[in-house]
Amino acid sequence: MHSTYAVLWGMQCVPGTLDVMPDITPYLRMKLGTVGCVEYAMPGSKELFDAFEKEADHSAGWLLMRHGTVVPGKTILDAFYAQEELEETAKILWEMYGKFLKFQLV
């Protein structure tokens, strides 16, 4: 999904980090769990699958650098609610810390 604040937060995440979103409310953990970061690669590419394979056991959802989110769920509704909470958390984090972050556009 290409949610605005998750994309912004994903601009500065570091691939391989086990949890890139701090606990500012309990709801992200309750609805999703930890959020990892995966380097962007072309959709459907071996590089993308390899990147997710390395991270699959460490997080319940992911920010795809400079792109968006990948959030699974037992049902489509579970995935939607988890995605919604991830975006709301990213929005709060961006409002709190965004102006202090340094990152380079590529």
pLDDT in tens, the chain (106 residues): 788 999 998 888 888 888 899 888 899 998 888 999 999 899 899 999 999 888 888 888 999 988 889 999 999 999 999 999 999 999 999 999 887 877 655 5
Position 104 scores a pLDDT of 57
- For residue 83, give the amino acid letter: Q
What are the chain's domains? 4-100 (3.40.225.10)
pLDDT value of residue 80: 94
Q: What positions carry a catalytic annotation?
A: 27
